Amino acid sequence: MARQKTAFVMMTGMILPNDNFTNVTIDNGKVISDGNRSIVVGFGMPGLKESLNLDDIKDADDLTIPESLEVEADVIDFEMSSTFTVGLITLQIWIPFRMHSTSSMMRHWSS
């Protein structure tokens, strides 16, 4: 019997004051600044690529499924307020992004 892992979608958000954090970047998400703060939202899907056996599919290298996220910034007087992380075990949130086209989801987050 084949064993399948449960894939999770992990979403993380944080609000960083621009007085302390500049040049904020995230590799799998979006940074939006209102002039006073940078709002950072990112996501990862640890285990999904392995669960779908994408290593066995010929053109799977063209498909990027982020397993983690990394936030970088130049920081002065580091002080961290709240960060929020939510884990989901359902892929129903992908419905607006058309499950057959993961690239549409990636375009949404990278624009």
More confidently predicted of 79 and 61: 79
Q: Compute how many other C-beta atoms are within 10 angstroms of the C-beta atom of residue 26.
A: 20
Residue 93 has pLDDT above 90, yes or no: no
Averaged pLDDT, 95-107:
49
* CA pair distance 3, 37, nearest whole angstrom: 44
More confidently predicted of 79 and 101: 79
pLDDT tens for 7-24 read 778 899 999 999 999 999
Mean pLDDT is highest, among 14-28, 49-63, 80-94, for 14-28
Residue type (1 letter), 44? G
Q: Would strands 71-75 and 21-26 be described as parallel, antiparallel, or unpaired?
A: antiparallel
Whether the model pTM is above 0.85: no
